[in-house]
């Protein structure tokens, strides 16, 4: 049956498009685009005694060159890169390993493992912070006894309180919480690989390691790339765990200060320190730029080279 | 297949109706949102621990004499209070009565027009100028909050442990450290219950607690304000030196010990001495099943004048945009009465009323704290007035360096230099 052309000559305005896109677009513009643009504008102003006036890039110059600000800024940025590096080197490889193990057809109870490993991701960060503080507490914690029982007792320390180990410990807690996400994403991709490709490689005489390296890994690379970019964005926005465990002053001696906590102190103030909306907006803008540059580098240098396979 | 043609038409009218309905709903909602009950007062506060006392005791007492006014106590956790309050005031959703932090935090709220002027408030006559000083403009002309309570620093000790080890309350620093030595060597108790994980205890219960004895209270605080004294002076370095000496007496892993951990160590009877703020009395009354007492920060040698930190910590003001200003004023005047002072001092032991009324405190430990006002000279925390206005912020720096001095990652001299350098960057009298 061919549709008659009579009705189509004067096309009615496609209201349904507006209807379906409208609500989403409206919410996105009001709650995401407008605040973002407003933040960018706000960072160009300076507020003094309730009067705000345009100062151009002065806030950014202060932030990067003035010692009282720049020290805190570079420290937070450095810590943030460390935090990110630990996630990339620990969380994602473990996620990959778990996904491969889970997708093995020989594994029994894989549904149970999957749920258990994913569980922490669904818990509130505040609970995670609280539970881990108790576990690691030198006063009430069980980790000291546990280490003694396996003969490593002398290595126990107040890890969360030492300048040298606090950030790494927090990063590991965060890894523990979020390892379920890369695992799930990679697991889903692994399940999508058609059996005939894997079967063919087995028929050709590949062992399971070879199958993984030459068949499965290339097929899940796009997912690993996506996981990496998600990790990058999430880590440079990280705030809750540090705030829940160490407070906004991110001690000891700012060794756990990330861009998020630095922004919080600047924007909202801290104890006797008054918050500054414009300076805070400048920090937020820099955070946005760092993430933007990171994502763009990724898109130009990695995303374009990745081959995607359609089954 | 035939239905396909009519479907867009139907959905089009449906959309139109839907759009009209949404518009109508929005108009209706925006017009009803502004109506509020006539005589309801809402109090913003950071004392979430006191929520029960307000709702069960204080507000019912107020309602006995003022039955028409409904009062609602709406606390926010202390660490979030300042930022939450600021956001609420900006958005216009803050309560009618605002609990005021001392000095600049409240002063800035007044300057930004969020707090009402209280100069003609009858109840203010009940307070001394010293009590009011934390909530007055720099020129002394405008009062924007009414004083409510102060907190006093000192040490709380476990009387049973002291008895068991045959210890007496230390009066001098030498005695204090001898006591700590005895506890450490002759028992398994932790001598001092304090940690540095939250950092503020190091500054507030450490530095500001024992410091006034070194810098001679108000005299030293004023000298710092006028620029006559520097943080690199002997008094301040010595304060940090004593703090550094606390380290061996703290619990194992104190670097990761939080404020609540310290409280629990003490209330479980595992620690002998607790560097305290008087507000801890309440928690200890509720949780400790042994007798405890208190002593003021020990002095250098017997007979020296003692100085205590009697910090004007809490005031209350009226939201400049409150809908119920008259009712709010009535409530404030009631808060200036002897009835409130007695009620508050006894229900919230550890917060000492600042009004001039003579009141009886029944709690023995709170009474002990209060009695130091007669024996010692009072001062307030030295970083609170004016000195925490600039960047870097002196109070935040004190938290950081005091915690580091106790951790042993910074020497007292380095701490002094860092804070003095910070002050010199923006504070004219110190330059």
Instruction: Specify burial of residue A303 (Cβ count, 10 A radius: 0-12, 13-18, 19+).
Output: middle
For residue B28, is pLDDT > 50? no
pLDDT at B63 (0 to 100): 93
Tokens of B318: 């009226």
A16–B383: do the CB atoms touch at under 8 Å? no
**B16 Cα to chain A: minimum distance (Å):** 10
pLDDT at B114 (0 to 100): 93
Domain that holds residue B239: 151-310+380-430
pLDDT at A99 (0 to 100): 94
Percentage above 70 pLDDT, chain B:
91
What does the pLDDT look like over B107-143, one tens digit per residue?
989 988 999 999 999 999 989 887 888 999 988 889 9
- B8 located within any domain: no
- B29 located within any domain: no
Which of B100, B107, B111, B253 to mutate to probe the A interface, most A CBs <10 Å?
A: B253
A274–B105: do the CB atoms touch at under 8 Å? yes
- A36 located within any domain: yes
- On whether both B185 and B127 belong to a single domain, the answer is no
- A59 located within any domain: no
- On whether both A43 and A117 belong to a single domain, the answer is no
Q: Half-sphere exposure of residue B82, counting CA atoms within 13 Å on the CB side? A: 24
Q: Which residue of A has its CA nearest to B6?
A: A7
Domain that holds residue A30: 15-54
- On whether both A107 and A25 belong to a single domain, the answer is no
Cα separation, B237 vs B211, in Å, equals 10
Q: Which of B348, B371, B394 is the last residue of a domain?
A: B371
Residues of B in contact with A16 (CB under 8 A): 8, 11, 15
- On whether both A237 and A267 belong to a single domain, the answer is yes
**A249 Cα to chain B: minimum distance (Å):** 8
- On whether both A133 and A23 belong to a single domain, the answer is no
Q: Which of B329, B347, B371 is the last residue of a domain?
A: B371
- On whether both A181 and A262 belong to a single domain, the answer is yes
- B131 located within any domain: yes
- On whether both A191 and A292 belong to a single domain, the answer is yes
Q: To which residue do tokens 């922004």 refer?
A: A263
- On whether both B287 and B166 belong to a single domain, the answer is yes
Q: Helices (DSSP H) in chain A: which residue ranges?
A: 15-28, 34-42, 58-65, 67-86, 92-103, 110-122, 125-136, 143-149, 166-178, 180-192, 195-203, 208-211, 217-236, 240-246, 259-268, 277-301
- On whether both A279 and A256 belong to a single domain, the answer is yes
- On whether both A105 and A246 belong to a single domain, the answer is yes
- On whether both B258 and B157 belong to a single domain, the answer is yes
Cα separation, A100 vs A183, in Å, equals 9
In the three-class reduction of DSSP (H, G, I as helix; E, B as strand; rest coil), residue B183 is classed as helix
- A4 located within any domain: no
Q: Half-sphere exposure of residue A74, counting CA atoms within 13 Å on the CB side? A: 8
- On whether both A49 and A73 belong to a single domain, the answer is no
What does the pLDDT look like over B213-236, one tens digit per residue?
999 999 999 999 999 999 999 999
- A10 located within any domain: no
- B2 located within any domain: no
Please name the residues between 93 and 132 in chain B that touch chain A, using a CB distance below 8 Å: 103-105, 108, 111-113
8 Å CB contact between A260 and A238: yes
Q: Which residue of A has its CA nearest to B114?
A: A50
- On whether both A253 and A195 belong to a single domain, the answer is yes
Give the pLDDT band of residue B424 (cuts 50, 70, 90).
very high
Q: Which of B330, B346, B371 is the last residue of a domain?
A: B371
- On whether both A170 and A228 belong to a single domain, the answer is yes
Percentage above 90 pLDDT, chain B:
68
Q: Helices (DSSP H) in B171-306: which residue ranges?
A: 173-186, 200-201, 208-215, 217-226, 234-246, 259-267, 280-287
pLDDT at B73 (0 to 100): 94
Please name the residues between 217 and 246 in chain A that touch chain B, using a CB distance below 8 Å: 246
A16–B261: do the CB atoms touch at under 8 Å? no
B86–A19: do the CB atoms touch at under 8 Å? no
Q: To which residue do tokens 């951990």 refer?
A: B261
- Which whole number is the average pLDDT over B341-349? 90
Length of chain A: 311
- On whether both B178 and B84 belong to a single domain, the answer is no
pLDDT at A63 (0 to 100): 92
- On whether both A263 and A128 belong to a single domain, the answer is yes
Q: What is the CATH number of the domain that holds B295?
A: 3.40.190.10
8 Å CB contact between A219 and A189: yes
Cα separation, B274 vs B154, in Å, equals 9
Out of B10-19, B157-166, B242-251, B338-347, least confident range: B10-19
Q: What is the CATH number of the domain that holds A115?
A: 1.10.3720.10
- On whether both B50 and B176 belong to a single domain, the answer is no
pLDDT at A8 (0 to 100): 57
Cα separation, A29 vs A13, in Å, equals 23
Residues of B in contact with A254 (CB under 8 A): 400
Q: What is the pLDDT along chain A (311 residues), one digit of tens a residue?
A: 445 455 556 788 888 898 999 999 999 999 999 999 999 999 999 877 667 889 989 999 999 999 889 999 999 999 999 999 999 999 999 999 999 999 888 888 988 999 999 999 999 999 999 999 999 999 888 998 899 999 988 888 899 999 999 999 999 999 999 999 999 999 999 999 988 998 999 899 988 889 999 989 989 998 999 999 999 999 999 999 999 999 889 989 999 999 999 999 999 888 888 888 899 999 999 999 999 999 999 888 887 777 766 66
Length of chain B: 431
Taking Cα atoms as reference points, which of A271, A277, A246, A269 lies closest to residue A79? A246
- Report if pTM > 0.90: no
The number of domains in chain A is 2
Can you state the angle between helices B394-407 and B412-426, rounded to 10 degrees?
170
How many cross-chain Cβ pairs, A to B, lie less than 8 Å apart?
130
A272–B388: do the CB atoms touch at under 8 Å? yes
What does the pLDDT look like over A95-145, one tens digit per residue?
999 999 998 888 889 889 999 999 999 999 999 999 999 999 998 889 988
Torsion-angle region of A71 (φ positive above 0: left; ψ -120 to 50: alpha; else: beta)? alpha
- On whether both B55 and B129 belong to a single domain, the answer is yes
For residue B238, is pLDDT > 60? yes
Tokens of B206: 């450490």
Give the pLDDT band of residue B33 (cuts 50, 70, 90).
very low
**B8 part of contact set with chain A, CB < 8 Å:** yes
Give the pLDDT band of residue B5 (cuts 50, 70, 90).
very low
**B367 Cα to chain A: minimum distance (Å):** 29
Residues of A in contact with B105 (CB under 8 A): 272, 274
**A34 Cα to chain B: minimum distance (Å):** 18
Which of A4, A11, A42, A139 to mutate to probe the B interface, most B CBs <10 Å?
A: A139
- B11 located within any domain: no
A249–B79: do the CB atoms touch at under 8 Å? no
**A56 part of contact set with chain B, CB < 8 Å:** no
Please name the residues between 356 and 375 in chain B that touch chain A, using a CB distance below 8 Å: none
**A17 part of contact set with chain B, CB < 8 Å:** no
- B252 located within any domain: yes
Mean pLDDT of chain B, nearest integer: 88
The number of domains in chain B is 2
* ipTM at complex level: 0.84
What does the pLDDT look like over B170-204, one tens digit per residue?
999 999 999 999 999 999 999 999 999 999 999 99
- On whether both B421 and B287 belong to a single domain, the answer is yes
């Amino acid at each position: 049956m061919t549709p008659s052309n009579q009705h189509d000559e004067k096309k009615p305005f496609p209201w349904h498009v507006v209807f379906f896109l409208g609500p989403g677009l409206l919410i996105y513009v009001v709650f995401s685009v407008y605040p973002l643009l407003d933040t960018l504008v706000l960072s160009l102003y300076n507020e003094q005694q309730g009067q705000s006036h345009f100062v151009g890039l002065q806030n950014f110059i202060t932030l990067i060159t003035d010692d009282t600000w720049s020290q805190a800024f570079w420290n937070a940025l450095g810590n943030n890169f460390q935090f990110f590096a630990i996630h990339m080197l620990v969380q994602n490889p473990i996620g990959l390993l778990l996904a491969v193990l889970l997708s093995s057809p020989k594994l029994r109870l894989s549904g149970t493992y999957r749920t258990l490993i994913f569980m922490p991701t669904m818990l509130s960060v505040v609970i995670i912070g609280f539970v881990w503080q108790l576990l690691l507490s030198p006063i009430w914690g069980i980790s000291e006894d546990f280490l003694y029982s396996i003969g490593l007792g002398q290595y126990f320390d107040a890890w969360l309180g030492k300048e040298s180990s606090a950030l790494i410990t927090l990063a590991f807690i965060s890894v523990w919480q979020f390892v379920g996400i890369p695992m799930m994403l990679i697991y889903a991709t692994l399940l999508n690989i058609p059996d005939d490709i894997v079967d063919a490689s087995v028929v050709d005489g590949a062992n399971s390691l070879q199958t993984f390296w030459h068949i499965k890994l290339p097929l899940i690379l796009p997912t690993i790339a996506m996981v990496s970019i998600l990790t990058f964005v999430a880590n440079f926005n990280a705030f809750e765990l540090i705030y829940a465990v160490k407070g906004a002053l991110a001690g000891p001696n700012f060794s756990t200060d990330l861009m998020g906590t630095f922004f919080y102190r600047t924007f909202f103030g801290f104890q006797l320190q008054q918050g500054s909306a414009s300076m805070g907006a400048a920090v937020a803008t820099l955070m946005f730029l760092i993430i933007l540059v990171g994502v763009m580098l990724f898109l130009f240098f990695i995303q374009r080279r990745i081959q995607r396979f359609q089954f | 297949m035939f239905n396909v043609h009519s479907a867009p038409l139907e959905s089009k009218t449906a959309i139109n109706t839907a759009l009209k309905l949404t518009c109508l709903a929005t108009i209706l909602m925006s017009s009803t949102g502004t109506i509020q009950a006539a005589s309801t007062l809402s109090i913003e506060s950071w004392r979430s621990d006191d929520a029960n006392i307000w709702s069960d005791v204080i507000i019912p007492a107020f309602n006995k004499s003022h039955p028409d006014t409904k009062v609602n106590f709406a606390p926010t956790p202390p660490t979030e209070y300042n930022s939450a309050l600021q956001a609420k005031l900006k958005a216009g959703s803050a309560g009618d009565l605002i609990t005021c932090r001392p000095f600049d935090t409240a002063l800035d709220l007044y300057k930004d027009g969020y707090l009402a002027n209280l100069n003609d408030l009858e109840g203010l006559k009940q307070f001394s100028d010293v009590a009011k000083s934390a909530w007055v403009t720099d020129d002394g002309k405008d009062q924007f909050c009414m004083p409510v309570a102060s907190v006093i620093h000192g040490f709380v000790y476990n009387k049973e442990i002291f008895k068991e080890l045959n210890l007496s309350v230390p009066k001098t620093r030498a005695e204090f450290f001898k006591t700590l030595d005895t506890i450490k060597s002759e028992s398994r108790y932790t001598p001092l219950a304090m940690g540095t994980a939250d950092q503020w205890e190091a500054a507030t219960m450490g530095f500001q607690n024992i410091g006034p004895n070194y810098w001679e209270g108000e005299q030293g605080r004023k000298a710092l304000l006028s620029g006559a004294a520097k943080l690199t002076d002997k008094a301040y370095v010595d304060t940090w030196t004593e703090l550094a000496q606390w380290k061996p007496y703290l619990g194992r892993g104190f670097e990761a010990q939080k404020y609540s951990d310290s409280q629990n160590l003490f209330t479980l009877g595992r620690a002998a001495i607790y560097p305290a703020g008087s507000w801890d009395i309440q928690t200890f009354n509720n949780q400790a099943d042994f007798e405890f007492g208190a002593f003021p920060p020990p002095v250098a040698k017997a007979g020296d004048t003692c100085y205590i930190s009697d910090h004007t910590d809490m005031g209350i003001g009226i939201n400049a945009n409150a809908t119920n200003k008259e009712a709010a004023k009535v409530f404030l005047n009631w808060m200036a009465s002897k009835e409130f002072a007695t009620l508050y001092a006894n229900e919230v032991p550890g917060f000492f009323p600042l009004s001039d009324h003579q009141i009886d405190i029944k709690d023995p430990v709170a009474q002990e704290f209060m009695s130091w006002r007669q024996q010692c000279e009072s001062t307030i925390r030295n970083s609170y007035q004016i000195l925490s206005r600039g960047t870097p912020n002196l109070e935040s720096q004190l938290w950081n360096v005091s915690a580091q001095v106790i951790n042993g990652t910074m020497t007292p001299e380095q701490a002094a230099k860092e804070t003095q350098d910070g002050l010199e960057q923006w504070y004219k009298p110190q330059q």
